[in-house]
Amino acid sequence: MICWCLEVSKSGYYRWRGRLPPPRTIRKIRTIEKIRETFAEFKGRYGAPRIACELHELGEPCSRNYVAKLMQQEHIKAKNGKGFRYSQPVEGNINVAANLLKRCFDRLPDDR
């Protein structure tokens, strides 16, 4: 019934159902598995460039863009570390003179 609705021959449907996946799909699945393993091995800190280098060392030929595309499709994203924030020193705390006269600055002038 489905073959008739989709206007496909029965023999064509069963041939399609029984065939093996193409080599490109097999390579993609194998690469995704290796990406997941490498990502987990480095605790989610490696992005596409580093994972591509690691896969090259393992003997899996792939480009950085291919790894980035697969990571994006699988929703795998590296954790970023906290960036360094530079703050300029506060002038009020740097140029404070020593209390040579031993004056008490705790109370206000109206507290007499």
Q: What is the pLDDT of residues 7-43, one digit of tens each?
A: 889 898 888 888 999 999 999 999 999 999 999 999 9
Q: What is the pLDDT of residue 51?
A: 96
Torsions phi, psi for 35 (to 5 deg): -65, -45
Q: Which two tokens stand for residue 68?
A: 């980035």
Gap between the Cα atoms of 6 and 87, Å rounded: 67
> Considering the entire predicted model, what is its pTM?
0.61
Q: What is the CA radius of gyration of the chain?
A: 32
Q: Residue 104: pLDDT above 80?
A: no
Average pLDDT score over residue span 96-105: 74
Quick one: average pLDDT of 88-107? 70
Which helix (H) or strand (E) is 30 found in, with range?
helix 23-41
